[in-house]
Amino acid sequence: MNIKGLLFALLGFALFSVHDVVVKYLGSSYTPVQIIFFAGLFSFPLLTFVLMSDPTRENLRPVHPWWVSVRVFGALFSGLMAFYAFSVLPLAQTYTLLFAAPMLITVLAIPMLGESVGPHRWAAVTVGLIGVIVVLRPGGQELTLGHAAALGSAFCNALSSVVVRKIGQEERTVVLLLYPLAGNFLLMGLALPFVYVPMPITDLGGLGVIALLGFLASMCVIAAYRYGEAAIVAPMQYSQILWATLFGFLLFGESLDDPTVYGAGLIILSGLYIVYRESRGGKSDNTPVLRNRSRGYSPGSIRTSAILRRWKSD
């Protein structure tokens, strides 16, 4: 059973990697605001089919409007900053910094979820922080807005994930899925007139490809968690660094430098150890990283945990 989950996970994260290649390509000509607005717009028909199957007959008012608002802004800014980082940084370096999310989730879960973090996970967070410093190597390279955006995206993704963990049992699936989509349409739509650049039909097609890949990748990840254990599926996200290295070299002439390789190794080890500690019974009350089953910075992606919870209740 875990083999099936493993294969779905690898396929899903491979599709996400192709998704990010298209984002990087279009990011050389258009702002993240324009890309996210149209990718989210094209995603809406696909997500509508998922939302239509929600059997609950209630209104769409959230139970926790404040926390839902925090989640919406976290999701929006996570996508905005991730798309900018992809457009200006090498793919592998962007992924490496985005992979800081598990250690940020671990830290944010303390005040927001009342999580108790022991010395083992604190050590893992410290190792991950060292990895980030190695990648950034202050003084060894010019730090840019792209680096800040990648780390900002990791933080916003972590914040959004912890919020979902906090309110997910009480909020309806349709609320958790629809509000970020509506927020994307409204806020990015307000900003769009200031940055809009006319797009040829091929680039509009690329935005449709982003939407489709985000949806298909999410469905694969959902299937992976249905058929495999979370402790097996979750680490498969790190396979994206391999795709980033390959695509970056073949399509953009990028190469990995030693600090990125060493830093990525430390950050990935940190994330893997946090997942391992949470997967051991009694080591974590909330398992916030293990339950972070979605990629929060793609407009067309689906909140995996919300869909899984609804399917279990059907």
Position 51 confidence tier, pLDDT thresholds 50, 70, 90 = low
Point out which residues pair with 141 in neighbouring strands. Answer: 138
Residue 19 — left, alpha, or beta (φ > 0 → left; ψ -120 to 50 → alpha)? Answer: alpha
**Average pLDDT of the segment spanning 144-156:** 94
Single-letter code of the amino acid located at 200: P
Give start and end residues of each alpha helix (H) in the chain: 2-27, 32-52, 65-88, 91-98, 101-113, 119-136, 145-167, 173-183, 189-195, 201-227, 230-233, 240-252, 258-279, 304-313
Q: What is the pLDDT of residues 66-78, one digit of tens each?
A: 999 999 899 899 9
Residue 114 — left, alpha, or beta (φ > 0 → left; ψ -120 to 50 → alpha)? Answer: left
Q: What percent of the chain has pLDDT over 70?
A: 90
Q: What is the pLDDT of residues 202-217, one digit of tens each?
A: 999 999 999 999 889 9
Position 55 confidence tier, pLDDT thresholds 50, 70, 90 = low
For residue 306, the model assigns a pLDDT of 58
Q: Which residues contact 34 (CB under 8 A, 6 or more apart)?
A: 192, 195, 196, 197, 199
What's phi and psi for 138, nearest 5 deg?
A: -55, 130
Q: What is the pLDDT of residues 236-265, one digit of tens each?
A: 999 999 999 999 999 999 988 888 999 999
For residue 176, the model assigns a pLDDT of 79
Dist. CA 195–CA 29, nearest whole Å: 11
Dist. CA 105–CA 277, nearest whole Å: 14
Q: What is the pLDDT of residues 262-291, one digit of tens each?
A: 999 999 999 999 999 988 877 788 888 887
For residue 314, the model assigns a pLDDT of 45
For residue 148, the model assigns a pLDDT of 95
- Size (the chain), residues: 314
**Average pLDDT of the segment spanning 39-46:** 83
Dist. CA 185–CA 47, nearest whole Å: 14
For residue 304, the model assigns a pLDDT of 64
Q: What is the pLDDT of residues 165-206, one digit of tens each?
A: 888 778 777 787 788 888 888 899 999 999 999 999 999 999
Residue 253 — left, alpha, or beta (φ > 0 → left; ψ -120 to 50 → alpha)? Answer: left
Residue 157's Cβ-side half-sphere holds a number of Cα atoms within 13 Å equal to 30
CB 115 within 8 A of CB 284: yes
Tally of CB atoms within 10 A around 231: 16
The better pLDDT of the pair 303, 12 is held by 12
For residue 50, the model assigns a pLDDT of 64
